[in-house]
Amino acid sequence: MIESAARSSRRPGTGARGVLDSLVAIVHCLTTLALSLCYLVVLLVFALGVLLVPLLFVGIPIAAAACWAALGVEWIELHRISAVLGLDLTGLDRERLPEDDLVPRTRRQGLLRRGLNRRALTALAYTLVQVGWGITSGAVLLFALSASTAYLGHGVLLVASGGADSRQIVLSLGGGVVGLVVSGWLARRFAMIEVLLLRRMVLRNKMRALRRQVEELRERRLRMVDAAEAERRRLERDLHDGAQQRLLSVTMTLTRARARIGKDTAAAEVLLAEAHQEAKAAMTELRDLARGLHPAILTDHGLDGALPAVASRCAVPVGLDVELDSRPSARTEGVAYFVVSEALTNITKHSEATTASVRLHRDGERLWIRIADDGVGGATVDGAPGGGLAGLIDRVWAVDGELALSSPPGGPTVVTVDLPWEA
């Protein structure tokens, strides 16, 4: 369709295929004209919002609504051109494009925030160009079609009258046919220009966003690899400095006790008691280490049972509110547990807070977590791989979740996390 979907625009269609392409292109261009007149309303609404900007609570929401509507124009044109002209242009539209912010936003955004962003403003610019081009190309095509039909009508009238000069009949009918052919050729070229505008103004931006997403995926993957390596080194260090040393001490104490058995029973009993205490201490350290990896209480009792223990170990008083009617997936539970644990650790270390609060609730197929404190604020996502808020963002992102941070200087700090219920 339309000269092999814009790739073979240098080789115009011939025969029945060329006629069909011309008819489709003509209908498409006339539809573009009609829609452009409708899209003009979006531009007029935006202009009205700009004029009313001095009235802050009137002008800005109107302008934002127009930008948001421009996203609809972009979506309509993308799918309309793909369907009518037989092009595969909608694949990118199904991709989840990243926001420009460093910290992902939550899905609960108002009309104002969704309207006044770069993508919506780009869609508004595309709407402006589309309206201008649609009206201009449609007017030219209508003029060409009107002239062609006028020549054909005049030729038919001459034939019907029977007394006209054959030369006049040929000129009129020939001019009408040539006019229709030129109209079809113009319509195809206009359609190709429209596709070019769509690719340059819409799809190029989507490709740029996808490239940013690829870079973000690469950086996050590297950070997760670094975090895994840092965690491995931490476990190795904890085992070497803790349980391994205690077990080595137990082995040496037992060796000394065995050497004294039969010679000095009292001293052997003292050494055995000492070895017993060291073994118990090693078991305690291993138990604490295992709890840090994945606590048994989380597996057995879920977040309802595991989070009170986390809150009780925090040096800052924590108000805990868990409203869950059932248990999410094991992966979501693990991420939620880590998020709360790490956030409370950060509060203890850095916030200088006197109180903190943790709230979990289910909203449809999403698990929402809100962690707040009354500390000094100023929290950022910078930090070592896998640690602090950077580590939280990587873990949340890994299950297709989102994290929002609000931490102005002076506080309070609020971390909102949105996780899929079944990750």
pLDDT at position 209 is 67
Q: What is the mean predicted confidence (pLDDT) over 158-179?
A: 81
Higher per-residue pLDDT: 109 or 148: 148
Burial of 106: CB neighbours in 10 Å, binned 0-12, 13-18, 19+: middle
Q: How does pLDDT run across 281-337, given as a tens digit for each residue?
A: 778 777 766 655 667 778 788 888 888 988 888 888 999 999 888 899 888 888 898
pLDDT at position 361 is 92
pLDDT at position 57 is 75
Q: What is the mean predicted confidence (pLDDT) over 99-127?
A: 57
Is 369 within 8 Å of 336 (Cβ atoms)? yes
Q: How does pLDDT run across 373-419, given as a tens digit for each residue?
A: 998 888 876 544 445 677 788 788 878 888 888 888 888 899 999 99
- Whether the pLDDT of residue 247 is over 90: the answer is no
| Residue 351: pLDDT band with limits 50, 70, 90 | confident
> How far is the C-alpha of 33 from the C-alpha of 25, rounded, in Å?
12
pTM comes to 0.49
Higher per-residue pLDDT: 369 or 213: 369
Q: Which amino acid is at 61?
A: P
- Whether the pLDDT of residue 97 is over 60: the answer is no
With CA atoms as reference, report the closest residue to 202 among 360, 292, 356, 91. Answer: 91
Token digits of residue 195: 């596709």
Q: What is the mean predicted confidence (pLDDT) over 118-145?
A: 88
What per-residue string of b and e applies to 225-254 under the rule 16 or more CB within 10 Å gives b? eebeeebeeeeeebeeebbeebbebbeebb
pLDDT at position 206 is 66
Q: How does pLDDT run across 359-376, given as a tens digit for each residue?
A: 999 988 899 999 999 988
pLDDT at position 90 is 53
pLDDT at position 89 is 57
pLDDT at position 320 is 92
Q: What percent of the chain has pLDDT over 70?
A: 78
Q: What is the mean predicted confidence (pLDDT) over 324-352?
A: 87
Q: What percent of the chain has pLDDT over 90?
A: 13
Token digits of residue 237: 């260090």
Pairing of strands 318-323, 366-373: unpaired
Number of Cβ within 10 Å of residue 305's Cβ equals: 14
- Whether the pLDDT of residue 352 is over 50: the answer is yes
- Whether the pLDDT of residue 251 is over 60: the answer is yes
Higher per-residue pLDDT: 345 or 140: 140
Higher per-residue pLDDT: 414 or 52: 414
Greatest mean pLDDT among 5-9, 138-142, 277-281: 138-142
pLDDT at position 205 is 66
Contacts of 382 (CB under 8 A, 6+ apart): 388, 390
What angle (nearest 5°) sits at the alpha carbon of residue 348, between those of residues 421 and 393?
35
What per-residue string of b and e applies to 40-75 under the rule 16 or more CB within 10 Å gives b? bebbebbeebeebeeeeeebbbbbbbbbbbbbebbe
Greatest mean pLDDT among 71-80, 177-186, 288-297: 177-186
Give CATH for domain 296-420.
3.30.565.10
| Residue 260: pLDDT band with limits 50, 70, 90 | confident
Q: What mean pLDDT, rounded, does the chain reach? A: 78
